[in-house]
């Protein structure tokens, strides 16, 4: 017979076993997610807030053109950056997937595979989604997008022509769209790009390395894609490949990012208030905490109209 004390022990051990099983199960769950190159989203991990967002997304009035994105992330960032992306700007796309990698032991070398990853994701996107959307976007988990401003620009271009959107920077004599703010390809551009990759005499690089955006630049040129201008008449940029804190403050310490962008931008970029256009489209090097802050300031805060006050 169990006396009261033993009963408590049995109960306690049972309880611990159940908790452990639960933990192991959810760990298993996360792991199985990491094994796919493409994962639908981190939805299951952010169910509640995700649902609210999806409601918002359905009810939002949007321009006709449909935009699909694959968003590069990396196992250590699934719970932070990927979640933040999903809970903020990604909800304003027509559809998206996260492109991640196997959680194996080769993580330290992961940058080496960047070019292969981007090519694989574009090929897969073309094969599986190529006819279902007008525009196709490669994005990173540390970039914040203002989708409404992107839609406004894209709505002026025909997706059946080979257009792409990107921020041109230079490295020596090479000109290429900075990988940080990503690339958005029209339906026709996606087809030309993916076809060009496999042409017998292609000039698109075959072997992988980490200079993905430089190879993108070469390959887009080879495939004859045309750039959509993103710098306005006053020379203000709208795809910003560094954090705004390294560009906007007038009392700027010119750190390595500021120097890189102001010297390497294809079209001259100013620091201070005139850096960026009012129709800002993207900012790179954003922390996941900042994503929530941007989203809050842009979509939730209302500025009081003092002219409306009664006397």
Ligand X SMILES: *[C@@H]1O[C@H](CO)[C@@H](O)[C@H](O)[C@H]1NC(C)=O
Binding site for ligand X (CB under 6 A): 106, 109, 112, 196, 222-224
Whole-number minimum distance, CB 247 to ligand X, in Å? 34
Nearest-approach distance from CB 221 to ligand X, in angstroms: 9
- Sign of torsion over alpha carbons 221, 224, 230, 235: positive
CB of 202 to ligand X, least distance (A): 8
Q: Which helix (H) or strand (E) segment is 190 a member of? A: helix 187-197
Nearer to ligand X, 96 or 193 (CB): 193
Question: Which two structure tokens, joined as six digits, stand for 18?
Answer: 């159940």
Beta-bridge partner residues of 183: 138
Q: Strands (DSSP E) along the chain, which ranges?
A: 38-39, 67-72, 95-99, 135-140, 143-145, 163-165, 168-171, 174-177, 183-186, 226-227, 239-240, 282-284
* 200 CB-contact burial (10 Å; exposed 0-12 / middle 13-18 / buried 19+): exposed
At residue 125's C-alpha, the angle toward residues 43 and 28, to 5°, is 35
Spatial CB neighbours of 42, under 8 Å, sequence gap ≥ 6: 33, 78, 79, 82, 83, 86, 98
Give the dihedral sign, CA 18/19/24/30.
Answer: positive
CB of 62 to ligand X, least distance (A): 32
Nearer to ligand X, 188 or 228 (CB): 188
Nearer to ligand X, 200 or 278 (CB): 200
Residue 106 or 289: which CB sits closer to ligand X? 106
What is the phi/psi pair of residue 114, to 5°?
-55, -50
Rounded Cα distance between 221 and 216, Å, is 8
Which two three-digit tokens encode residue 200?
A: 């017998």
* Minimum separation from the CB atom of position 218 to ligand X (A): 12
Provide, rounded to whole angstroms, the least separation between the CB of residue 239 and ligand X: 25
Q: Which residue has the tokens 């306005």?
A: 232
Of 109 and 131, which CB lies nearer to ligand X in the complex structure?
Answer: 109
* Closest distance to ligand X from the beta carbon of 61 (Å): 38
Q: How far is the CB of 106 from ligand X (least distance, A)?
A: 4
Which residue's CB is nearer to ligand X, number 222 or number 260? 222
CB of 219 to ligand X, least distance (A): 10
Nearer to ligand X, 32 or 224 (CB): 224
Q: For residues 94 and 137, is the Cβ–Cβ distance under 8 A?
A: no
Instruction: State the CB neighbour count (10 A cutoff) for residue 46.
Output: 17
Q: Name which of 185 and 286 has its Cβ closer to ligand X.
A: 185
Shorter beta-carbon distance to ligand X: residue 38 or 222: 222
Angstrom CA distances, 3 to 6, 8, 11, 14, 77, stand at: 5, 9, 12, 17, 49
């Amino acid at each position: 017979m169990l006396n009261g004390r033993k009963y408590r022990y049995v109960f306690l051990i049972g309880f611990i076993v159940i908790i452990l099983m639960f933990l192991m199960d959810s760990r298993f769950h996360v792991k199985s997610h990491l094994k796919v190159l493409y994962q639908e989203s981190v939805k299951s991990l952010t169910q509640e807030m995700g649902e609210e967002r999806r409601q918002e997304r359905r009810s939002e009035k949007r321009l006709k053109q449909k935009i699909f994105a694959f968003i590069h992330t990396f196992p250590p960032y699934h719970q932070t950056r990927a979640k933040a992306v999903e809970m903020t700007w990604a909800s304003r796309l027509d559809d998206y997937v996260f492109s991640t990698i196997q959680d194996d032991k080769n993580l330290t070398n992961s940058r080496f595979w960047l070019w292969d990853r981007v090519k694989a994701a574009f090929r897969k996107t073309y094969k599986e989604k190529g006819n279902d959307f007008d525009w196709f976007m490669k994005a990173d988990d540390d970039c914040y997008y203002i989708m409404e401003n992107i839609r406004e620009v894209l709505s002026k271009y025909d997706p059946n022509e080979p257009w792409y959107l990107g921020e041109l920077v230079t490295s020596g004599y090479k000109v290429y769209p900075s990988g940080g703010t990503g690339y958005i390809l029209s339906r026709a551009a996606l087809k030309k790009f993916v076809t060009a990759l496999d042409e017998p005499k292609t000039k698109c690089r075959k072997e992988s390395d980490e200079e993905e955006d430089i190879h993108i630049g070469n390959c887009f040129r080879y495939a004859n894609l045309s750039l959509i201008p993103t710098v306005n008449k006053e020379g203000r940029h709208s795809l910003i490949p560094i954090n705004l804190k390294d560009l906007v403050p007038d009392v700027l310490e010119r750190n390595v990012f500021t120097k890189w962008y102001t010297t390497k931008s294809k079209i001259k970029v100013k620091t201070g208030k005139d850096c960026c256009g009012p129709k800002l489209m993207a900012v790179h090097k954003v922390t996941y905490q900042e994503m929530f802050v941007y989203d809050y300031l842009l979509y939730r805060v209302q500025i009081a109209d003092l002219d409306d006050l009664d006397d």
